[in-house]
Chains A and B, each alone.
Chain A
């Protein structure tokens, strides 16, 4: 209050400062002081003048007080001292003059505020005046200038405290500075070569140490799907890590065989892959640990062997999130522990270092003035800032001294980390070969003149070698046949084709065009060749590519023609827009085309989503990217690769690998992210997962699931055993059963065994047959899959092998519904299956609403600090929990106590940490959870992919009648409605 009034007084004072106050002799103050009503008359009182003088003196000190006008005191002192007896003309004039001055001052000064803009009438005010003083009338400019300076000073004062002012936008966008800024930003997360292109069009995410495009900013989910299924979708997969292994074939195979198992499919030693004709894919385990301790899926390509030599080269392509686990494992397996420091081995250049001799290597084709200008600018840039602005190619986060090569003295194997050394683009879709054929052109031969003289470039050297040219011709022929193929999926999966191509920038169309398959009828000879290609794939010798050679790669990378140079050459062409001829010598690039298999599992939509991978030497990324985009492909991000694998029905890494370390890490990240999203809502607006009976909406407790199902099967077994004691059993069975019965005791004492994902081919096939495979919508049965119901002994045998396993399944909904992430897969009751038979309503059962025991507890927590009261209030809840009669009595009863201790972390709507039994929490027994669920555009119904417990699945199948075998229930975490779905295991 006081302050407020003080401020008001201050404002008023400021307002009235220039206003003249009354000019009069102070009488009121004098009167009380004189102590009476004795009039201070003008002529009589001798003390009156002194009084007046006193008061005037007093008033000079506080300037703002009323009374005498200041102007009067300065010069009109002569008459102010006393009331004069007579009046003179001069005095009268002086008084008038003083008054005029006071008035003038009042009139000239605005009262309200001293902003210059307010001095202007409203219709003359302009917004830009506050920035540009010259817009003000001239008479006001001075004051405005002063004001501005003052405010600038104040601003600079503030800014000095926080931060110095940055450069102007123009300066920042200058090429050299921009490059420096980009390099600085690349230090933390690696940028792909197409980063800038992506950053303009995609939502970027920082993942696995890279900046990656997640999804396009435009709405193109369906167009992307359409591109995948009918035309071509392009993705930049350069973030995949390539690890190169070199060494003797036997030693390499011996080392690598420890990482894989034949039971899970073909290994590194598969004959077709080993010849270099095919790309292979395996799931890698820690050495000798199969089936537990999985690392993750990798793909690999062998370099085709050169005649007779046993020295082989192998590229292993792995996801960046498993590289940190895979690389040490490979090193230990190959006994490669000697890190080779990059400078020691000249062959291996670390990613960041590009040779300083680049200008010398560059052909001196550029006209002199342009070059000198360029160098000058570069130099000035260098002067300005210490590190020279050089575009980072490859991994910018890695320091120079980090070893990328490891050598083994005992086995002779060399491991080379080629991360970011090779650009990898993926084209998905049936027309991807058309796009490739239109974009790429087999390298043209160079003329005799170039051949005759030695060249620093790789291509002229190669042209000299007859055998190499022959090989190139064969490869070019095969590449030309590719155009005539109807669909990319017709080719054998994993075909590899090496090629040398021209710089695709030279044939860049002026407009974006859609690459269409050529419809012309090909001749008979071509037909023959085409069939050969489709059946056998690329012949062995044509898989050779010079991309495998480090020296060629570096040569190509260093000698790339810059965009600027190319444009200059184009501008010098006689006919504008015509093709550059002859092709500049630097414009030949060795590439490797690797066919990517489409949908291989299941019985329908086979080879959906097949495509080609294009491997390029680093530095050429954008040179190939833009021409590809100009052929009418869609570009997808991480989101699309997830959808791709979802439609293919394959597990996507690292989302669907809950048993490998990268998958576990991913799940944790996902959980925190989802939980954050959840917590951001106010409690009243959250989904109450407790009431929905959803125990784990954000993270699936696979381990707990596997353990519980193991326990359940064991109980069942014991019951059955006690019933059928007299039954004659084979010797092996009894042994097994003894094992089983003895297991509970062991289970408690022995250390935890971790759950595994079932990847054994044989077992998967068996299980798949038992599930009665159907088409995706579950209408038709597949004839091939008709397998009779297994007898109990076979099941028992199966279970002993995979008692702690979960299995990857595809669930397709029979009616409507869209499964979501972490939806529950449950066992249907017999009456649920009856619902299926009457077609009228096929909607499925409902889950009764659960009680939220935690609500009351939270209230109590708020209310009482009294602990005894809280403890007593717990008991009715306990009975309640028991009343809600699930078979998990002990756990449920135990739960409140334990959770009450840890209730500090109680989040409304979520179960606190020690979960009760996950399987039997709801009215239907839980089998597993969904890790990917969406409406499938390819199947036309809701489709989910997820894991279910093997034990649970088997017991479900066994108890179901034949016609309903493999029917399960699916419930989203946010809903109470169960949907019927058909389970399919696809091998």
Chain B
């Protein structure tokens, strides 16, 4: 098919102090990536970064980032990611490392991978819990990790809302 193809990198931002993670926002990540690319690959790399690069998703709580790169040069840009050591946001420099978890052709595959990854992580967390309270919380989290039976209801809602929109 004819479309603009790109690669989506699912990265995890690893910080030493997790509370700092909450200060992140997508623009800060984007500037940090651009800066790193410019540093490692010069003007050519910076130019590649102008078109087709964006931060599609950032979760400040979990530190998950979706980065979109154009497909033709994603390896080049990817190679610059390890050189990010800190992200500057809101006047703070947050020292961090970007850890790439998955490279996908569509956001959807990344999302799928993320679901798998997260549930896996949660399951790993469960035996490592220190106290009962924590254990309960994790267990609860695992249980909420699905859309149980709500599928249909929601879709109905969707239809209704669609109708409203149409009218």
Contacts and interface: CB of A to CB of B under 8 A. Distances in A.
Contacts of A42: 19-20, 22-23
Contact of B125 (A20, A93, A104): A93
Contacts of B26: 22, 24
A93 B23 contact: no
Given A22-B57, A150-B159, A93 B138 contact: yes
Contacts of A105: 147, 154
Contact of A14 (B59, B141, B145, B165): B165
Interface stretch (B34-42, B43-51, B68-76, B116-124): B116-124
Nearest to A97: B141
Nearest to B162: A114
Contact of B59 (A10, A84, A90, A95): A95
A108 B151 contact: yes
Contacts, number: 153
Interface stretch (B77-85, B95-103, B107-115): B107-115
Contact of A100 (B24, B114, B138): B114
Interface string A86-103: 111111111111111101
A25 B165 contact: no
Between A24, A41, A142, the greatest number of chain B beta carbons within 10 A of the residue's beta carbon is seen for: A24
Nearest to A89: B134
Contacts of A254: none
B134 A99 contact: no
A96 B121 contact: yes
A108 B149 CA distance: 13
Sort chain B's interface into a size bin. 35 or more
Contacts of A99: 59, 61-62, 64, 114, 118
Interface residues of A, number: 51
Contact of B60 (A10, A25, A94): A25
A884 interface: no
A95 B23 contact: no
Given A41-B92, A114-B162, A150-B159, A93 B122 contact: yes
Interface in A672-708: none
A146 interface: yes
Contacts of A108: 147, 151
Given A97-B145, A142-B152, A83 B138 contact: no
A99 B144 CA distance: 11
Interface string A75-88: 11001000111111
Between B22, B27, B112, B119, the greatest number of chain A beta carbons within 10 A of the residue's beta carbon is seen for: B22
B141 to A, nearest CB: 4
A100 B115 contact: yes
B18 interface: yes
Between A19, A93, A99, A147, the greatest number of chain B beta carbons within 10 A of the residue's beta carbon is seen for: A93
Nearest to A76: B61
Given A24-B24, A146-B159, A104 B147 contact: yes
A97 B122 contact: yes
A41 B90 CA distance: 7
A39 interface: yes
A90 B137 contact: yes
A37 B91 contact: yes
Contacts of B18: 87, 92
Interface string A831-859: 00000000000000000000000000000
Given A10-B165, A90-B133, A146-B159, A97 B144 contact: yes
A25 B92 CA distance: 15
A911 B59 CA distance: 85
A40 B24 CA distance: 12
Contacts of B24: 24
B163 to A, nearest CB: 8
Nearest to A31: B90
Contacts of B154: 105
B19 A85 contact: yes
A271 interface: no
Between A76, A104, A108, the greatest number of chain B beta carbons within 10 A of the residue's beta carbon is seen for: A104
A24 B129 CA distance: 27
B32 interface: no
Contacts of A94: 137, 140-141
B23 A25 contact: yes
A106 B118 CA distance: 15
A541 interface: no
Interface in A4-36: 10, 14, 19-25, 27-28
Between B58, B60, B146, the greatest number of chain A beta carbons within 10 A of the residue's beta carbon is seen for: B60
Interface in A95-143: 95-101, 103-108, 114, 142-143
A104 B146 contact: yes
A101 B144 contact: yes
Given A42-B20, A86-B19, A27 B137 contact: no
Contacts of A21: 57
A84 B58 contact: no
B146 to A, nearest CB: 7
Contact of B23 (A83, A87, A100, A146): A83
Contacts of B130: 89
B138 A89 contact: yes
A114 B158 contact: yes
Contact of A90 (B61, B92, B138): B138
Interface in B151-167: 151-152, 154-156, 158-159, 162-163, 165
Given A83-B23, A103-B115, A104-B147, A95 B62 contact: yes
Contacts of A41: 23, 90-92
Nearest to A37: B91
Contacts of A40: 90
A27 B24 CA distance: 9
Interface string A56-79: 000000000000000010011001
Nearest to A90: B137
A100 B140 CA distance: 13
B152 to A, nearest CB: 7
Contact of B145 (A20, A101, A107): A101
Interface string A957-977: 000000000000000000000
A88 B64 CA distance: 18
B61 A95 contact: yes
Contacts of A28: 25, 27
A114 B115 CA distance: 23
B142 interface: yes
Nearest to B21: A87
B60 A104 contact: no
Contact of B115 (A89, A107, A147): A107
6 contacts: A23-B58, A24-B25, A27-B25, A89-B137, A100-B118, A105-B147
Given A75-B144, A101-B147, A103-B111, 10 more contacts: A19-B107, A22-B26, A24-B59, A25-B23, A88-B137, A94-B140, A96-B141, A97-B144, A99-B118, A114-B162
Interface of B: 18-20, 22-27, 55, 57-62, 64, 89-92, 107-108, 111-112, 114-115, 118-119, 121-122, 125, 129-130, 133-134, 136-138, 140-142, 144-147, 151-152, 154-156, 158-159, 162-163, 165
**3 shortest A-B CB distances, which residue pairs?**
A90-B137, A97-B141, A95-B61
Interface of A: 10, 14, 19-25, 27-28, 37, 39-42, 72, 75-76, 79, 83-101, 103-108, 114, 142-143, 146-147, 150
